[in-house]
Amino acid sequence: MQYKRFNWPAIALWPNNSFKPNLLRYTNNVTDKACHVAGSATQVGLTQALDVMKRLLVAVVFFSLLLGCQPAQVERVSWSDELQQEITERITIRDPAKVRSLIPYESISIERSPCFGSCPIYKMTLYRDGRAMLVDDHLLPEEARRYSAEIDLKDYARLAQFVEIARKGSKKDEYMGRWTDDYFVTITVMDSQGGWSVSDYGQVAPPEVWALQQLLFRQYATLRWAGGVK
């Protein structure tokens, strides 16, 4: 009995082709025997998978932005917040030099004008280094008297914080009441950028400015003034 010889190599390619992914060959030197000198092969299945992943990533980013899922931003700490931490750690300030370096205002002054009646007339200037200067009747050079005192650093720091609040609450440089028998209050603050000033006739400025006025009036009344020299 004779058996017909089976041509195995002809069908051996079938399982081999079905197992290996189809390759995209990028070369100009490919022969019929698939021998090549230099070239690269990219699997079609892998390329398609990467394309699907890319599309999925784009969709995730798009919907994240649509839903407001944005990267968290680092919140900037203001000088006032840093100052608050320094002056509330202990009863006394541990590092005065650091606290002074945090305060941007070199000086804070308040000036009161005459009125129809008995009104104090003066200009008081408080400095970051602790000095306090007062000139009574400053509008009359012959009558003016000069005084000096020292202001507590924590008090000056608090005033600086209120200056920041007043600046944000003030929309104008001057506020005027509708009557004519009152006095002007002018607050002037100096810093490295120049300064800021606001005038208030009749105490009609926004509450932030009014509160700063009251704190400065208190300093005028409670500081231990010395001198009185013309």
Q: Per-residue pLDDT tens for 214-225?
A: 999 999 999 999
| Residue 74, domain member (yes or no) | no
User: Could you tell me if 55 and 84 lie in one domain?
Assistant: no
pTM, two decimals, is 0.66
Tens digits of residue pLDDT in 115-164: 887 888 999 999 999 999 999 987 777 788 999 999 999 999 999 999 99
Residue 42 pLDDT grade (very low, low, confident, very high; cuts 50, 70, 90): very low
Mean pLDDT, rounded, of the chain: 80
pLDDT at 22 over 70: no
User: Could you tell me if 90 and 48 lie in one domain?
Assistant: no
Residue 33 pLDDT grade (very low, low, confident, very high; cuts 50, 70, 90): very low
User: Could you tell me if 37 and 108 lie in one domain?
Assistant: no
pLDDT at 9 over 60: no
Residue 198 pLDDT grade (very low, low, confident, very high; cuts 50, 70, 90): very high
pLDDT at 166 over 50: yes
User: Could you tell me if 61 and 91 lie in one domain?
Assistant: no
The full DSSP string for the chain is --PPPP-HHHHHHHHHHHHSPPEEEE-S-B-TT--BSS-EEEEHHHHHHHHHHHHHHHHHHHHHHHTT-PPPPPPPPPHHHHHHHHHTSSSS-S-HHHHHHH--EEEEEEEE---SSS---EEEEEETTSEEEEEETTT-TTT-EEEEEE--HHHHHHHHHHHHHHHHH--SSEEE-S-SSS-EEEEEEEETT--EEEEEESS-S-HHHHHHHHHHHHHHHHS--EEEE-
Query: Could you tell me the CATH number of the domain that includes residue 127?
Result: 3.30.1560
Tens digits of residue pLDDT in 74-114: 567 799 999 998 988 888 888 999 999 999 999 999 999 98
- The more confident residue out of 48 and 94 is 94
Residue 63 pLDDT grade (very low, low, confident, very high; cuts 50, 70, 90): low
| Residue 83, domain member (yes or no) | yes
- Quick one: pLDDT at residue 2? 54
Q: Which domain holds residue 52?
A: 10-66
How does 155-179 read in b/e, with b if 16+ C-beta sit within 10 Å? bbbebbbbbbebeebbeeeebeeee
- Quick one: pLDDT at residue 197? 97
User: Could you tell me if 142 and 84 lie in one domain?
Assistant: yes
Residue 50 pLDDT grade (very low, low, confident, very high; cuts 50, 70, 90): low
Residue 19 pLDDT grade (very low, low, confident, very high; cuts 50, 70, 90): very low
User: Could you tell me if 39 and 88 lie in one domain?
Assistant: no
User: Could you tell me if 55 and 142 lie in one domain?
Assistant: no
Total count of domains within the chain: 2
User: Could you tell me if 95 and 120 lie in one domain?
Assistant: yes
Q: What percent of the chain has pLDDT over 90?
A: 52
User: Could you tell me if 44 and 128 lie in one domain?
Assistant: no
- Quick one: pLDDT at residue 18? 44
What count of Cα atoms within 13 Å lies in the side-chain half-sphere of residue 44? 6
pLDDT at 23 over 70: no
User: Could you tell me if 39 and 120 lie in one domain?
Assistant: no
